Structure 1
Amino acid sequence: MEWIVTLISELSQLGGVSGDESRVADYIEEKIRDFADDCRRDRLGNLIAFRKGTDSSKKLMLCAHMDEVGLLVSYITDEGLLRFQPVGGIDPRVITGRRVLVGEKQVPGVIGTKAIHIQTPEERKQAPGFDRLYIDIGATSREDAQKAVSLGDCAVFDSDFVTFGDGCIKAKALDNRVGCAVLMESMRMRPHYDTYYVFSVGEEVGLRGAYTSSYDIEPDFAVAIDSTTTADYAGVDERDQGLKLGGGCALFLMESTTYYFKDTLKKVRRIAQENGVRYQMKQIMVGGLDAGGIQRTASGVETASVATPCRYLHSPSCMMKISDILETEKLVAALCQSADLMKRRS
């Protein structure tokens, strides 16, 4: 347990906004090189590792995306303030006043907006949207700001990794550095089938890496490993909570990008039960995973997803329980070792 928590801590502190995942890929490649029979990167930047299994009659693909949501500098004002666009699904209400790090130099900044005492009555009625927010890096002019940052630089949340409460962790980018850590851990054991371990790019902006890598690999079966939202707190009706922290890993009936076929889900649930995995079914059919890109590849790929429940997803303070992460890890390991995974009917 300590090893994977340390791994998640290190992964979560790396910057890797969609389209700028190379630092995460470099870190992962260094860690997994000794376990892989082959390791390469494709044109988009997907990191693809391979391990030969005991059975080479079928190909298994495991996929976890490396990218995180973030901000893209799109304009610099005369005063040296940075206007930006969101990369991925970010709620503007949760980022005002947050610290960020901008560009390769990791220039510190703060997300600001007009102070409330000078807002108009109409402005006070609603939280500021992205058009009313900016990043303040302490520059005094556009020229001053341009010495430190450039248009197109990405900004990530500056948020420490913290363990707290009853086995909880808090950090940025737990979506999906936790999935990356689980995938890395699964490489320690020899899989049953020849297995491709894909650390994908661009999931937060349209599952881009999942599409291209699955076309390349043409797997017989694929498992997307990700994080998924939960809202198990006060003021939310139980039917709208989706999942509960501490309830185990999550399986899906469907979500915004994928319909999971009954035979596949039945098979995955049976393998989970046989291996003593605690899991829960997600009850809210929103959000998208890399599975949506993989399933539609070529003539179609049998696809499943395993996710770790997360509060405050896509925010500077994602929150998970270590026990749920360990259940995700246990199920992914069981799927890797299962000879039954490729059976058409269960």
Structure 2
Amino acid sequence: MLKELCLINGTSGDEGKVRDYIINQIKDYCEYSVDNMGSIIAYKKGKKAPKQKISINAHMDEVGFIVTGITDDGYLRFTSVGGIDSRVCLDRIVTVGKKAVKGVIGDKAFHLLSSDEKDSCPSFDDLLIDIGATSKDEAEQYVSLGDFAYFYSDYVELGNGYIKAKALDDRIGCMLMIELIKSELEYDTVFCFNVQEEVGLRGSKCTSYAVDADIAIVLESTTAGDLDGVSGADRVCVLGDGPVISFMDNRTIYDRELFELGFAVAKENNIPAQTKTAVAGGNDAGAIQTSGDGARVMAISLPTRYIHSGASVVKTSDIDDTRRLLKALLPKLTD
């Protein structure tokens, strides 16, 4: 399922194919609706009603690109949709528009760069997508302004239990929620598959008003810096050390009792777990926490290398441990 989810294209504002896939997976296991933004709100009946309303959240969208112009020579001007470092884009293959036209993100060849250019990171204004067209008229036969573009990336298993793919942020969270919806739950639970997280937590702002949960769990991916030569707190979190339970990021200070509960449940069930050693990033919890009457929020994330690129990497053991933690944690949340 994760492979299928990651290979679907669906950036912010273009999540339709992801939404269709998820609905096809869950439609026989719950009641659901789609709001005006395009997010899915799914109601899963459990064995009993909880004392407090609980929601579980993940976002459907991925980072990508949008076409902003076409040059006279047939190259495409573009900008990012979501937070992408332009350095991860150089010479990458992308697919553009509804026709999935393949192209290459190009810049000047290295031997043509000035000394200043060699020491700096190119901006998106300096990059172009080459689809093999030789004129603006030819390019316009295949691509229109406003078309989305995506990293063209295979799903690959690496080494001893690693996965490389695009869109692991946050199709892992979507997969785990689909699995929970298909399982037998102790308590009634609401699941929100949100749109447009990568451009300002927009979908979750709407679903959180509609659901009005007391407790909200956000399933996410988060940045791991466990690379060669990086040590201590600079690693932030580590692949293979289990799910990441956050205490704070740039959008949210997480509920302290839920933070402590997560680690207590992990210890009780011999599940490895870790926290982030940096206050960085953000996720849908930032919108959910401050919408309506507010909600107590908790984030459980997968440590992910090279996040927001076409080649993110996670470890399968972390997915398994997150799955185990959720199964043990959910029955305890209502108390």
* TM-score range normalised by the length of the shorter chain: over 0.9
Distance 1:44 1:331 in 2: 31
In the alignment, what sits opposite 2:160?
166
Q: Does the aligned pair in 2 maintain the 1:99–1:157 contact within 8 Å? A: yes
In structure 1, the partner of 2:15 is 21
Q: In the alignment, which residue of structure 2 is the partner of 1:277? A: 271
CA distance in 1, matches of 2:189, 2:179: 14
For 1:117 and 1:128, the matched residues in 2 are separated by 15
Distance 1:117 1:281 in 2: 44
Q: Tell me the equivalent position of 2:283.
A: 289
- Which runs of structure 2 are paired with 1:125-204 in the superposition (5 Å)? 125-204=119-198
Q: Is the 8 A contact 1:73 1:153 kept in 2?
A: yes
**In the alignment, which of 202, 206, 211 is matched to residue 212 of structure 1?**
206
Which residue pairs with 1:55 in the alignment? 48
2: CA distance, partners of 1:237 / 1:270: 26
Q: Does 1:341 align with 2:333?
A: yes
User: What TM-score comes out, normalization by structure 1 length?
Assistant: 0.94
Query: Which ranges of structure 1 fall in alignment gaps of 5 or more residues?
Result: 1-6
Q: Which residue does 1:255 correspond to in 2?
A: 249
Query: CA shift at 1:299, angstroms?
Result: 1.7
The Cα shift of 1:119 comes to: 2.2
8 A contact 1:58–1:193 mirrored in 2: no
Cα deviation for residue 267 of structure 1 reads 2.0
* Residue 191 of structure 1: how far off its partner (Å): 2.2
SS of corresponding position for 1:187 = helix
Other structure's SS at 2:19 match: helix
Indicate conservation of the 8 Å contact 1:58/1:194, yes or no: no
Structure 2 CA distance, aligned partners of 1:189 and 1:335?
A: 15
1:41 maps to a residue whose letter is V
Deviations 1:8-67 (A, max 9, x none): 11100000011100100001110111211x111100000111112223243211001010
What SS is found at the alignment partner of 2:227? coil
Task: Provide the identity percentage.
Answer: 44
Query: Contact (CA 8 Å) 1:48, 1:199: kept in 2 or not?
Result: yes
- State whether structure 2 residue 309 is matched by structure 1 residue 315: yes
In the other structure, the counterpart of 1:4 is none
Any gaps of 5 or more consecutive residues in structure 2? Answer: none
Aligned position for 1:39 = 32
Contact 1:248 1:279 in 2 (8 A): yes
Residues 220 and 342, structure 1, Cα contact 8 Å, conserved in 2? no
Alignment of 1:267 onto 2:261: yes
Separation of aligned partners in 2, 1:237 and 1:275: 28
Listed as ranges, the matches of 1:86-101 within 5 Å are: 86-101=80-95
* Match in the other structure for 2:79: 85
Aligned to 1:223: 217
User: 2:212·2:293 contact (CA, 8 Å) conserved in 1?
Assistant: no
State the SS of the aligned residue for 1:271: helix
Deviation at 1:261, TM superposition (A): 2.4
Q: Which residue of 1 aligns with 2:227?
A: 233
- Secondary structure in 2 aligned to 1:296? coil
Contact 1:99 1:109 in 2 (8 A): yes
Q: 1:285 corresponds to which letter in structure 2?
A: V
Structure 1 contact 201–208 (Cα < 8 Å) conserved:
yes
- Calculate the TM-score normalised by the size of structure 2: 0.97
The one-letter amino acid of 1:328's match is T
Pairwise CA RMSD of aligned residues? Answer: 1.2
Is the partner of 1:183 in helix, strand or coil? helix
Report how many aligned residue pairs link the two structures: 334
The AA in structure 1 aligned to 2:186 is H
**Could you say what secondary structure the match of 2:53 adopts?**
strand
- The alpha carbon displacement at 1:122 in A equals 2.2
Amino acid at match of 1:323: S
Aligned to 2:98: 104
Shift of 1:271: 2.4
